[in-house]
Chain A
Amino acid sequence: MLAIGLTHYLVLSALVFCIGVVVITVKRNAIGILIGAELILNAANINFVACGRYGAGGLDGQIAAAFVIVLAAAEAAIALAIFLNFYNLHATVDVDHGDALRG
């Protein structure tokens, strides 16, 4: 229990991932959903780096984590541009108002 191993990091990231899932599900505010997605990406990143450290993968884990960080920044930029458009259309960022494609 005292020595920190891969399992500790995996459990921590599982916890953060699940909290992120709840945030995405519960928040109505589109930006809250984006924050939940960032939580999930961070949980995945911790897995990458921890597996790179304790597994035999060498630097692969760190490089995957770096790519994830870049993609997360790109995703946040695009998501906020979409939210701005959404706000211009609906005067709110409550995602329940985005039902124009409902059949």
Chain B
Amino acid sequence: MLETVVFYLFAAVMVGSALAILLSRNIVRSAIWLLGTLGSAAGLYLLLAANFVAAIQLIVYAGGVLILIVFGVMLTSRNPHLRYEPSGREIGIAVVVALVLCAGMVAAILDGPWPQASAEQIAAQSGGVEALGRELLTTYLVPFELVSVLLLAVMIGAAYLARPEKN
């Protein structure tokens, strides 16, 4: 029962702040509303017993990416209240496309039988980080190392791209 209430709470916050991102015209407000979406996603991960993912969601997304985005907003607008308005036709097309997409996806989700683990299997899953860490360094060692190389490349690439112009 509690799980149901908490799920609907987080789901409402998530969809609500996603809509607020869409509807707010000020980009700074959009960035702040993104915090609601990211935070409620972390709550949903906790509800799904994915403690580690919830933690890195909060640390990397809410703590890192969001700050990065706010910095980006501050660095790229002399006037933070400057607005970029799409035309009504663009909005209409986008909303129709998204509604069709959404209807199709929801119909497919409700239609298909989904593989369902038994209640014992779900209960047997621990939220602990130990098993996850072991998997990362055994089964997923190659992608793990690849990601670390990628992060190095991203660090160099971002510093190179954002460097000040000579002269």
- A-side interface residues toward B, CB under 8 Å? 2-12, 14-23, 25-32, 34-36, 38-39, 42, 45-46, 49-50, 52-56, 58-59, 61-63, 65-67, 69-74, 76-78, 80-88, 93-94
B88-132 vs A, CB cutoff 8 Å, 1 = contact: the mask equals 001101110111011001100110001111000110010000011
- A66 near B56 (CB under 8 angstroms)? yes
B128-147 vs A, CB cutoff 8 Å, 1 = contact: the mask equals 00011001100010010001
Q: Smallest CB–CB gap between A54 and chain B, Å?
A: 6
- A69 near B61 (CB under 8 angstroms)? yes
Number of residues from B at the complex interface, CB < 8 A? 81
- B102 near A14 (CB under 8 angstroms)? yes
- Give the chain B neighbours of A9 by CB distance below 8 A: 44, 48
Closest 9 CB pairs of A and B: A28-B84, A81-B161, A25-B94, A18-B102, A81-B162, A14-B105, A74-B154, A19-B18, A87-B76
- Give the chain A neighbours of B11 by CB distance below 8 A: 8, 12
- Give the chain B neighbours of A66 by CB distance below 8 A: 52-53, 56, 132, 136
- A25 near B97 (CB under 8 angstroms)? yes
Contact of B27 among A32, A38, A46 (CB under 8 A): A32
Q: A31-B76, A66-B52 are in contact. List 9 more A-B contacts (CB 8 A).
A: A18-B99, A18-B101, A23-B18, A28-B85, A62-B50, A63-B135, A66-B53, A84-B75, A88-B165
B18-47 vs A, CB cutoff 8 Å, 1 = contact: the mask equals 110110000100110010011001001101
- Give the chain B neighbours of A39 by CB distance below 8 A: 18, 21, 34, 37
Q: Which of B61-79 contact A (CB under 8 A)?
A: 61, 64-65, 68-69, 71-73, 75-77
